[in-house]
Amino acid sequence: MTQHRRIALLGPGAPAGLLPAMVDLAVRGLPPGYVDGEFVFTRRGVRRPDGTWDAVAEGRSVRYSAIVALGVATLPEERQRAALAGDTAADLAGRLVGRLPGVRGLGDAALICWAAAETGHPGLDEALRHLAGIDRLASSGQVYTVEAAWELAALVAARTRLGASSELDGRLERARAGLLGGLASGRLYRHVLGPSSGPLVPWYRAHVGCFADQVYPLQALARLHAAVGDADALAAAEQVAAGICAAQGAEGQWWWHYDARTGAVVEGYPVYSVHQLAMAPMALLDLADAGGTAYLDEIGEGVRWMSERPESGESLIDERLSLTWRKAARADPKKLVRGLRAVATRTRPAARLATLDRFYPPVAVDRECRPYELGWLLYAWLFELPRPS
């Protein structure tokens, strides 16, 4: 099988050699989580009496189903049907469009709209109308940064599918302004756009943004530039990419929490498999495809962490179950470290509380796999972003 262009960019050998196997693993690993035309929330690890692991399906998730639709849409039809137990990505997107009357969250509606656009589903107009109604309800206060980024990405995908219109371009401009405004007072994104104090985050975390809060705006802004030639959007995407790459761990770790004011790492762990294999490559390769900086070394180091991580010798890739375990974390079930470091850096940005590293080492493995992790893996490495002319 011909190696995909994005994988080939990393050159021969490790870590690029791992990626074709991971694409195959994702296709095999999706069907066990696909139940009655919808994806489960997670496959949770359960230890068997003989010491091996099984994965038990739990819950349902519209959001994760939409992300999988995006990822599976990059595959040829035959492989789509293998990943979706006989369905295609368009079939899945159609079911999600049918669920829209009951969808109230901005993020879920945006992802469904995005999936409808990229699968060419005829329900795209309906999805756009529903998204517009939710957007008006959410526009008066704080909005999660991730959800605002998904909205912009969905609108860009819709414009690419449908062409320009005054109504769609007006919505694009409002979504763009919201994301660009989120960088006005710092180097990276906070967890929310809008007022720093409000109902969505506690006061002691108002200055903090997680890795997802950086990756999704980076991706959406890069795609906006690729679609319409928006230099300000590209500059903002470059700023965020430079920030997360400067903070990357010595062994390729994409750290978890940042001080949005300075770009410093507040708390590194947990480190997530999906960040290493999918989300960081997805956003940074979109930036490169849009004409921005190509952070190929950083992408490669992040992927390499999956097979050569220093935290322990325990693998996060389970070939037998066709999944990746979710994250490497501290033995800190009450999330004490991240809370204390958030409080400390609120008033003293350089505070580290280094003693906590000794008491809570990052030796735990979170044994679950959520379907979106495999969906983004496919999307990161198989999607082709049209390059600006």
Whether 175 is covered by a domain: the verdict is yes
Residues 255/248, Cβ–Cβ less than 8 Å: yes
163: left (phi over 0), alpha (psi -120 to 50) or beta: left
pLDDT in tens, 284-333: 999 999 999 999 999 999 999 999 887 888 899 999 999 999 999 877 65
Judge whether 183 lies within some domain. Answer: yes
Whether 387 is covered by a domain: the verdict is no
Q: Would you call 293 helix, strand, or coil by DSSP?
A: coil
296 domain-assigned: yes
> For residue 130, is it within any domain?
yes
- Radius of gyration (C-alpha) of the chain in whole angstroms: 20
How confident is the model over 30-45, as pLDDT tens digits?
Answer: 999 999 999 999 999 9
Give domain status of residue 9, yes or no. yes
* Residue among 210, 213, 229 nearest 271 (CA): 210
pLDDT single digits (tens) 9-33: 998 878 888 999 999 999 999 999 9
CB burial class (10 A; 0-12, 13-18, 19+) of residue 76?
exposed
**pLDDT tens across 93-124, in order?**
999 999 999 999 999 999 999 999 999 999 99
The tally of domains found in the chain comes to: 1
pLDDT in the model for residue 195:
83
Q: What is the pLDDT of residues 321-369, one digit of tens each?
A: 999 999 998 776 556 555 555 555 665 665 555 666 665 666 689 999 9
Mean pLDDT of 196-222: 90
Q: Give the range of the structural domain holding residue 41, as residue numbers without chain letter.
A: 5-382
User: pTM of the prediction?
Assistant: 0.93
Task: Confirm whether 388 is domain-assigned.
Answer: no
Question: Does 283 score more than 90 pLDDT?
Answer: yes
389 belongs to a structural domain: no
Domain CATH code at residue 98: 1.50.10.10
Query: What secondary structure letter does DSSP report for 33?
Result: G
pLDDT band at 389 (very low <50, low <70, confident <90, very high): very low
